[in-house]
Amino acid sequence: MEVSHVYRWDLDKTYLQTDFDTLRGLLRAAREKASAKVNVAGSRALVRELQSRPGARVCIISGSPRQMRRKLEEKFRLDGVEIDELVLKPNVENFVRGRFRAIRDQVGYKLPALLEGRSRVPSTASETLFGDDAEADAFVYSIYADLVEQRLSTSELAEILERCGIYEDDAERALRLASSLQKGPPIERIFIHLDGFSPPASFHAYGRRVVPIYNYFQAAVLLLLDGHVGPISLVRLAVDLSQGYGYSLVSLANSFQDLVRRGLARAEDMAAIRLAFEANVALFDKLRPATEVIQTFVERLRMIGGLKPAAEREQRRIDYLAIIEREGPPNTWRRRRRHRATAPRPKGPPF
């Protein structure tokens, strides 16, 4: 079957809960067995639902070194996840060649990798991207999306890459790939998992396409509304979060309310979600009594208020140079953002 939609995922802090902010964390990630690697809550369940969609292709582009391929492939097998493409970073090669900036750089690595991946799918394929706020995923993914949609010229890209301070050969590779790129349909959404406690408002510069999320229930709700998953998929994800990661249905209802507050969902959308949960009470067998738990969830949904106007529908033009001017080169963002994660991670929006 021809590929009709591509789901591109980052790995660390997006699919796996990896600590790469310290040398100790990096060494632990390299040594630990595949069975010891911990998923971000709901990531495995969501990928399973997405990969079952006809015409779906699941690709992962990770900053993890290529030497970890065998362990990561084993981890995916253990998760029951089929990955169509796994791209890993040549960190050892960069070190041997003295390309030390490339070890931390994401723009010079991820953008060409994304563009190469695009060349391997039909130009008619649409895409949804998943990243996190630990580094520069929103920035890189947005550039990629603008290139696919031909909103960004190669001359504009050249100036952006120069301001990012990436190596010349990486910039030349990105420009070469961008110049041969065929125009495709708009990238539907760029989900950014808020692992580092970044406020959603900090992503406003990227427009409606970038959607910060506190958990994958929020992503699944929007994917349901977009037609990517069915109601049963949303319920199965809620079961995974509640039985495997300690989420309560009340906290998930709060997560839906957060989407409504941000104009990403409508209060009317809760009717479809409510029906999905009421029709699949049996999936919550381990929650006793399940019917009362579902009723609490439904009652919480009914209390939703504080509506905002719907989020903007048109993607605005992104001023990447202004973002660099304001925040500095993307390869410096990790050092500033990693200091946010000092408190225990919440299971939902911090209301």
Q: How far is CA 328 from CA 63, 65, 100, 172, 201, in A?
A: 21, 26, 19, 22, 18
Number of domains in the chain: 2
Please tell me whether residues 191 and 240 are part of one structural domain: no
Confidence bin at 265 (pLDDT 50/70/90): confident
CA distances from 144 to 121, 162, 178 (A): 15, 16, 9
Task: Kindly state whether residue 332 falls inside one of the protein's structural domains.
Answer: yes
The answer for residues whose C-beta is within 8 angstroms of residue 103's C-beta and 6 or more apart is 91, 94, 95
Please tell me what DSSP assigns to residue 86: E
One domain for residues 205 and 234? no
| 279 and 133 in a common domain | no
Specify whether 107 is located in the same domain as 236.
no
Q: Please, which residues bridge with residue 9 across strands?
A: 60, 130
In this structure, the answer to whether residues 185 and 237 fall within a common structural domain is no
Position 165 in a domain: yes
What pLDDT score does 344 carry? Answer: 52
Position 314 in a domain: no
| Domain membership flag for residue 217 | no
Q: Please check whether residues 25 and 111 belong to one and the same domain.
A: yes
Is residue 198 one of the residues assigned to a domain?
Answer: yes
Sheet holding 56-65, edge to edge: 85-89, 56-65, 5-9, 126-132, 189-193, 210-213
Reported confidence tier of residue 10, pLDDT bands at 50, 70, 90: very high
pLDDT of residue 28: 64
| pLDDT of the residue at 287 | 58
Q: Is the pLDDT of residue 268 over 90?
A: no
Q: Is the same domain home to 200 and 137?
A: yes
**Is position 88 within any domain?**
yes
My answer on whether 166 and 239 are in the same domain is no
Range of the domain at 258: 230-302
294 or 142: whose pLDDT is higher?
A: 142
Last residue within a domain, chosen from 302, 329, 345: 302
CB atoms within 10 A of CB 46: 28
Per-residue pLDDT tens for 57-106?
999 998 888 889 999 999 999 999 999 999 998 877 767 776 767 677 88
User: Is it the case that residue 284 has pLDDT exceeding 80?
Assistant: no
81 plus 113 within the same structural domain = yes
Does residue 289 lie within any of the structural domains?
yes
| Residue 133 confidence (pLDDT) | 94
Question: Is 343 inside any structural domain?
Answer: no
pLDDT given at position 78: 97
Partnered with residue 58 across adjacent β-strands are: 7
Residue 163 carries which side chain, given as an amino acid letter? Answer: R
Residue 240: closest CA among 37, 46, 7, 36 = 46
pLDDT, mean over the chain = 86
Do residues 240 and 294 share a domain? yes
Encoded tokens for 157: 């890209």
267 vs 227: which has the higher pLDDT: 227
144 shares its domain with 247? no
* pLDDT greater at residue 216 or residue 277: 216
Average pLDDT over residues 206-216: 96
Is the pLDDT reported for residue 164 higher than 80? yes
Residue 262 has pLDDT above 60, yes or no: yes
pLDDT value at 186 more than 90: yes
Looking at the fold, whether 71 and 204 belong to one and the same domain comes out as: yes
- Nearest partner of 196 among 40, 28, 23, judged by Cα: 40
Q: Tell me what pLDDT residue 55 has.
A: 96
Q: Give the residue, 261 or 49, on which the prediction is more confident.
A: 49
pLDDT digits (tens, 9 = 90+) for 16-69: 998 765 555 555 666 788 999 999 999 999 999 999 999 999 999 988 888 899
Are the C-beta atoms of residues 92 and 65 closer than 8 Å to each other? yes
Task: Give the pTM.
Answer: 0.90
